[in-house]
Amino acid sequence: MIVVALTLLAPFLLNPFPEGSAMAQFNAGYPDLMQRFVIFGIFAIGFNILFGLTGYLSFGHAAFLGVGSYAAIWMMKLVTTNIIPGIIASIIFAALFAVVVGFISLRRSGIYFSILTLAFAQMSYALAYSVLTPITGGETGLQIKSTDRPFLDNLEPGQIGRANLFGIDMRASQILEVGGWQFTFNVGYYVCAVVMILAFYMAIRIFRSPFGMMLRAVKSNQQRMNYTGLSPKPYTLAAFVISGMYAGLAGGLMVAMDTQVGPERMFWTASGEVVLMTILGGAGTLIGPVLGAGFIKYFENIVSKINSDILHGWFAFLPDGLEDFMVAIVYPFVGKGWHLTLGLMFMAVVIFLPGGLVEGGQRIARLFRRRKAADGATKSAAE
């Protein structure tokens, strides 16, 4: 229920500052970024099913994101621009590819498994970039063109099809202005939000099921599990395929929101990003990967846009020399240097909060409970 409330109320929660104010720079309630929050949240939830439950660290999950994206764009180019068939195709093709990759990679564990998945992802990237150019578009990628004539759509000559949900344009938005605030309600975002809520609920069911307990057993002690007569391989392969399906779903939604695909989605940095999201939020927790995805995408899209002119505006109240000094101190950590800030925060989380952002929230909650209990005990003693 918390996730549902946060997701549906995101246009309000992510726009806390009035438009035109100095702090409006930190507002994140615009459609493109909100869509990225939920899509990469789905990607991280799926990765967490594999890494958080079984302990298998994959460095190649971006391959499934890319396969799902290419499946969705071809479905839109050939069959229909309605996003439903494209999303279904992205899940199916990602699952099939995950079966192949998982069957080979899961013959090894530990760092050898991680290197195998990385190798598959880089091979997929190389194939998409050069060898399979007629299918993938190579370096320029694929997008819907005026020459595309989807089988189920009735498009006029020269008309470019747009991603839609039974005729509702994914880019359609409604703006609500309240005082100095401006809230945007985007169709594409709420479609992605509903899908993420369903994906999150499925993850809850997996975590709390007997299957989820078997995956925890795999992570705990595979050798002991073998002694009981249970083979971990079917469970790890199933977890790998489910995780790949989540990645394919995220790839399909990315195409539904922005109908163009490039091979960069399969690059190793995309796989590393989802690892950071999961660890930062809290591996093995339910809501942690979603928080981690939102945290990283916020830095990537908000902090990276802060330039020297904005900093001079912030410190304009200071004397000229001190203003320039403060800008010189802060500037390396924002704009193009946002990775430095993210890296420092990631190091701090790993060192002081091994359980991620979720552990930080749990510590704060425990602190409030202790204070409440202490106040109650003091009140009782006084009575």
- For residue 142, give its domain range: 2-266
Residue range 289-337, pLDDT digits in tens = 999 999 899 888 888 888 888 888 888 888 888 888 898 998 888 888 8
220 in a structural domain: yes
Residue range 180-195, pLDDT digits in tens = 888 999 999 999 999 9
Residue range 108-160, pLDDT digits in tens = 988 999 999 999 999 999 999 988 898 998 888 898 888 888 888 888 887 88
6 in a structural domain: yes
Total domains in the chain come to 1
314 in a structural domain: no
350 in a structural domain: no
362 in a structural domain: no
Would you state the pLDDT for residue 213?
A: 93
CATH code, 225: 1.10.3470
Evaluate if pTM is beyond 0.95: no
- Average pLDDT for residues 235-245, to the nearest whole number? 95
166 in a structural domain: yes
332 in a structural domain: no
| Count of beta carbons in the 10 Å neighbourhood of residue 104 | 13
